[in-house]
Amino acid sequence: LTAGLVAEIVEAVDALEADPDVGALVVTGAPPAFCSGADIGNLAAMGGGGEDPLGVLGIYDGFLRVLNSSLPTIAAVNGPAVGAGLNLALACDVRIAGESARFDARFLRIGIHPGGGHTWLLDRAVGPQVAAAMNLFGERLDGARAAEVGLTWECVDDDALLDRAEALAARAAEAPRELAARVKATLRRA
């Protein structure tokens, strides 16, 4: 995630929400990774100084825009989802892993506190034990293990990943958009 890519994510989600013909959103990455995290060298360009001299808060804008989308969202995790890339996957309503998916928090290893709601989102998805194993003990999950612990809905063959994500998105898009948005908001408040 670079400053430019974060801006593109925000702009794309805004445009998709403004289009009444769009009923759901699939987020995926360009192979070989879903998202390898924040571009550490690019963080300073996002920073405004003060309490955020490294610009870490600017990285949050992209995945928080996905998290706050009124559209149903699916992450099609087609490779490593690392650090802020894991946050991007967690921001989606449903995650589907390809066999090549890897989930790695990695924040402690690079010396930063997990931010952007990471601990809350991960704990909510998988519970405190798995969240601790990933964040405190550096455990990484492959696609199959992620499905076993509930981080993803399922793990499918890499070749079937996008078709499966698009099929789920199409099913969600069949519902009236306003109703789907209300149901999504209710799920978030639950």
Sheet strands side by side (includes 94-98): 25-28, 73-77, 94-98, 154-156
Report in angstroms the alpha-carbon separations of 1 from 9, 39, 108, 161, 173: 10, 5, 18, 22, 28
3-state secondary structure of 52: strand
Cα–Cα dist 86/34, whole Å: 9
Residue at token pair 């969202």: 73
Q: What is the pTM of this model?
A: 0.91
Full pLDDT tens readout for the chain, 190 residues: 888 899 999 999 999 999 999 999 999 999 999 999 887 765 555 455 555 544 566 788 999 999 999 999 999 999 999 999 999 999 999 999 999 999 999 999 988 899 889 999 999 999 999 999 999 999 999 999 999 999 999 999 999 999 999 999 999 999 999 999 999 999 999 8
Report in angstroms the alpha-carbon separations of 91 from 67, 74, 95, 176: 4, 9, 9, 22
b (16+ CB within 10 A) / e for 61-86: bbbbbbbebebbbbbbbbbbbbbbbb
Side-chain-side CA neighbours of residue 158 (13 Å): 14
